[in-house]
């Protein structure tokens, strides 16, 4: 007897979002939260390093950029690995790596040892983020995919914001190393829960031709009432493309223009994010603002981004995604100009930095835009390569703050200049929307049914 077929995505669309899927969301939320906390840590540690080790701000550029280089390399390698071996394996391994190396960073004895440990930490951080986004998007129903994925990704912005508040209490009391200890212990604990609870992506399993009973075992946790006897599972994508190199696929099937514009948008957005979050505490301290207040103001950026990200996700499920992104980046450009006009007004800066973060919620939502753009067979690669290439924008932003300050640029000039990459991001994402409105991405043609093994 020929097996009945179930389209995995249609199954997810037709059933309520289960407790099992909420558990996936929560676990991925915590992964990106500790990722965000650790990524933002150097911005709060930098002033202490200047005082304790007697280094110049320009000398901090390598250590500020080290994790970002690791992030870029981790992202570029983790995507193809996840598309080959699975999302879960890469997520668990990456969380363990950045937890252990963050703990090692706390034991640093020199600027160069800290630089090396931060690079290794970045490798794990870079591998974790794109795969949590990919896994979550592949367990979400179409109608709520953007909102649910952005809710999960809010963990990153909340984690980054929490870094500021943890720093404002832990660094004065226990020194800068305490922040890195917190950033290392949390992911190590989390690895245990990930290994036990987190499932592999069912869409990935179907694309790889996994046994039907393995897929059914996972889907049964979403809806136990479904009869999975004599079932073959299918996916919307074409399985015939799975032998294609996932990296080459980013530049085939009319993906080239979208891939390049996604890279440009994310690159420019990270220039804004990392220069602002990495150097705002130091810039404010030089303007005479106490470090504790400067940390809180910087934390407002990430809190604003959290609320902005949720709104972006809600809007992206309802109206044109590219319009949402373009308007948001343009609003961010206006906000950073306003920040530059009011360098010493702490109360007003809290509002303006929150507003800038709210608008830059578009940056977080870019991963959702990328996940929706690429097919399952190379989705992890598409998302991770956008993040990896974009990280070089983060490296530029993190490095240029100290260089510009050394060259004599003041608070106002730096933030006026920061509006330029925000405008370029708005233009790039707008062009992507216009291009694909007239030339939709072409899908390869081939067989679409896999896992046609009869259950016993």
Inter-CA distances, 335 with 48, 276, 330, 358, Å: 29, 12, 9, 10
Residue 334 has which token pair? 């206006």
Please provide residue 109's backbone torsions phi and psi, each rounded to the nearest 5 degrees.
-115, -5
Mean pLDDT lowest among 207-211, 261-265, 326-330: 207-211
Residue 1 pLDDT? 57
Residue 245 pLDDT? 64
Residue 240 pLDDT? 46
Length of the chain, in residues:
456
The string of pLDDT tens digits covering residues 35-70 is: 888 877 877 787 777 777 877 766 777 777 787 788
- Cα–Cα distance, 131 to 367 (Å, whole number): 10
Under DSSP, is residue 6 helix (H, G, I), strand (E, B) or coil?
Answer: strand
Whether the per-residue pLDDT at 456 is higher than 50: the answer is no
**Which residues make beta-bridge pairs with 234?**
7, 449
pTM of the model: 0.75
Cα dihedral sign for 348, 352, 358, 363? negative
Tokens 């003041």 locate to 410
Task: With cut-offs at 50, 70 and 90, classify the pLDDT of residue 428.
Answer: very high
Could you tell me which of 439, 132, 186, 154 has the C-alpha nearest to residue 312? Answer: 154
Inter-CA distances, 83 with 9, 156, 201, 391, Å: 18, 23, 11, 20
Residue 239 has which token pair? 């399985």
Could you tell me which of 339, 350, 347 has the C-alpha nearest to residue 422? Answer: 339
Yes or no: say if 193 and 27 are a contact pair by the CB < 8 Å rule: yes
Residue 315: CB partners within 8 Å, gap ≥ 6?
Answer: 324
**Region of 254 on the Ramachandran plot (φ > 0 left; ψ -120 to 50 alpha; else beta):** left
Whether the per-residue pLDDT at 26 is higher than 60: the answer is yes
Residue 27 pLDDT? 94
Residue 446 pLDDT? 38
- Cα–Cα distance, 253 to 382 (Å, whole number): 13
- The structural domains of the chain, ordered by start, are 4-450 (1.20.1250.20)
- Cα–Cα distance, 404 to 411 (Å, whole number): 10
Tokens 């200049």 locate to 417
């Amino acid at each position: 007897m020929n097996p009945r077929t179930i389209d995995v995505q249609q199954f997810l669309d037709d059933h309520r979002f289960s407790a099992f899927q909420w558990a996936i969301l929560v676990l991925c939320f915590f992964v990106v939260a500790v990722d965000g906390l650790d990524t933002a840590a150097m911005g709060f540690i930098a002033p202490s390093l200047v005082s304790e080790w007697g280094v110049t701000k320009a000398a901090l550029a390598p250590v500020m950029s080290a994790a970002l280089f690791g992030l870029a390399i981790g992202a570029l390698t983790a995507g193809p690995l996840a598309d080959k071996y699975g999302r879960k394996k890469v997520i668990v391994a990456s969380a363990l790596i950045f937890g252990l190396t963050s703990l090692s960073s706390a034991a640093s004895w020199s600027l160069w040892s800290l630089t090396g440990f931060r690079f290794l930490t970045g490798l794990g951080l870079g591998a974790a983020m794109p795969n949590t986004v990919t896994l979550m998007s592949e367990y979400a129903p179409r109608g709520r995919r953007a909102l649910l994925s952005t809710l999960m990704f809010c963990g990153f912005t909340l984690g980054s914001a929490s870094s500021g508040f943890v720093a404002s209490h832990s660094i004065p009391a226990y020194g800068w190393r305490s922040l890195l200890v917190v950033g290392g212990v949390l992911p190590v604990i989390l690895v245990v829960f990930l290994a036990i609870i987190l499932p592999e992506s069912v869409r990935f399993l179907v694309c790889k031709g996994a046994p039907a009973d393995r897929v059914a075992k996972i889907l049964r946790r979403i809806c136990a009432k479904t009869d999975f006897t004599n079932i073959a599972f299918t996916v919307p994508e074409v399985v015939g493309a799975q032998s294609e190199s996932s990296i080459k696929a980013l530049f085939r099937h009319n993906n080239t223009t979208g891939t390049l514009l996604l890279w440009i948008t994310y690159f420019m957005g990270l220039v804004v994010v990392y220069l602002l979050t990495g150097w705002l505490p130091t810039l404010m301290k030089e303007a005479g603002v106490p470090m504790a207040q400067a940390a809180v103001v910087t934390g407002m950026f990430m809190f604003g981004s959290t609320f902005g990200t949720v709104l972006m996700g809600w809007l992206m499920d309802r109206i044109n995604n590219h319009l949402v992104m373009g308007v948001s980046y343009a609003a961010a450009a206006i906000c950073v100009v306003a920040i530059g006009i009011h360098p010493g007004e702490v109360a007003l800066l809290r509002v303006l930095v929150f507003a800038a973060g709210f608008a830059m919620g578009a940056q977080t939502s870019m991963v959702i835009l990328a996940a929706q753009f690429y097919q399952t067979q190379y989705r992890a690669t598409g998302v991770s390569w956008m993040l990896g290439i974009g990280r070089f924008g983060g490296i530029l932003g993190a490095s240029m703050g100290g260089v510009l300050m050394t060259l004599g640029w003041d608070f106002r000039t730096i933030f006026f200049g920061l509006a330029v990459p925000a405008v370029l991001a708005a233009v790039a994402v707008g062009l992507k929307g216009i291009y694909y409105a007239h030339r939709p991405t072409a899908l390869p043609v081939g067989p679409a049914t896999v896992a046609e093994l009869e259950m016993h």
